[in-house]
Amino acid sequence: MASPDWSPKDVQVVSSIEQLRALLDRKRLTILRMLAQRPMTVTQIADELGLVPASIHYHVKVLERAALVELVDTKERSGILEKYYGAIAHDFVVDPALGHTAQAPAYALEAIVRDMRAASSAIASAPVDDTTVLTAQLGAARLTPDKAREFAHRLEQLIAEFMAGGDEGDDTLYSMALALYPVPGRAGADESGGQDG
């Protein structure tokens, strides 16, 4: 039951690096979605996810420090103080300007690496069928910084289209990991194996 004091916003714009880093974790995103529905204790979250409370406690504290969740109620039961946490909003949107800060790409790459490791394990143990992997690409090209920025902008538009395309009722959740970055010390190298031009 929600505390009468709990009144999350409809949408919160994530505008700090600390908030972005807190969001770049699938487990924390899951917890945040749960706490956007109703206030819960760490134990309740752990029970629902089938995880140990200590792990959930760590992630809730990261979200609380980033001001994405807050303590909304406390209840004493059998001498134990139960703390109920709620999300500050029902939905979260990352300010696009954060993508241009110095730290954001490194944090995003850390999250991509974690996701790709988890995806590799899941794919390796899954039965092979037509939904396992739709595409996985690795490529390189020599571009001017202006052309790279233009291409990155087009990718951002495609990603926004991808993320807006689904419905809650759709059967399968698809994930995408993508990074476009200059490779240090590789000026002039043609990693794609193509011709100079």
Domain ranges of the chain: 9-93
The CATH code of domain 9-93 reads 1.10.10.10
Contact present, 81 and 43 (Cβ < 8 Å)? no
Higher pLDDT, 80 or 104: 80
Q: What values do phi and psi take at 73, rounded to 5?
A: -165, 150
Q: Which secondary-structure segment (H or E) carries 55?
A: helix 53-65
Confidence of residue 195 (pLDDT cuts 50, 70, 90): very low
pLDDT at residue 77 greater than cutoff 90: no
pLDDT at residue 158 greater than cutoff 90: no
Contact present, 91 and 11 (Cβ < 8 Å)? yes
DSSP string, 103-139: SHHHHHHHHHHHHHHHHHHHHHHSPPSTTS-S-----
pLDDT of residue 4: 59
- Global pTM exceeds 0.75: no
Confidence of residue 71 (pLDDT cuts 50, 70, 90): very high
